[in-house]
Amino acid sequence: MSDLQRSPFHGAVAILVVLFLCNNAHAKHSGYLEMASQFMAPQNAARAAVGMPPLVWDLHVAHYAAWYANRRRLDCALEHSDGPYGENIFWGSGTDWTPAQAATDWVSERKWYNYFKNSCAGGEQCGHYTQIVWNGTMRVGCARVTCFGDRGVFMTCNYDPPGNYIGERPY
């Protein structure tokens, strides 16, 4: 069919295709923003509680987090990337874990951190919490993947600049 012989519906079909693609892109964008918000809200609340400014979502750091999370998608191993950023990682069995649950889990370590001793309670972890509230850290990027074979959910947040330097207080 030549350009001159198109049906009157051709333009309407093209408009519907464009609307579908725009709506689909908007839905993906909305989902991404919701994910970022879920990761950031508990962390920025923890920072506010100790007088630290909020973290800012950084796309470059988020791309790194997504790259690493996708590497862990195969085995769901709770291993750090050893990359250039501070890093918190999370694994949960099943597939329903949310970014807010991972971030809240990290923040919950606050109860084990003793500011005056600058250490964790004996036998407990608090490094996820101290990375979140680290004074020098300004940017964050995070990612969530469902591991192959529904072996769980792996999530990571990366922090720039990194924190948790031995002998230094987080705030």
How far apart are the C-alpha atoms of 35 and 169, rounded to whole Å?
30
Categorize the per-residue pLDDT at 30 as very low, low, confident or very high, splitting at 50, 70 and 90: confident
Per-residue pLDDT, 84: 98
Q: What is the mean pLDDT of residues 29-56?
A: 95
CATH code, residues 15-160: 3.40.33.10
pTM above 0.85, yes or no: no
Query: Hey, which residues does 118 pair with through a beta bridge?
Result: none
Angle CA(120)–CA(107)–CA(36) in degrees, nearest 5?
145
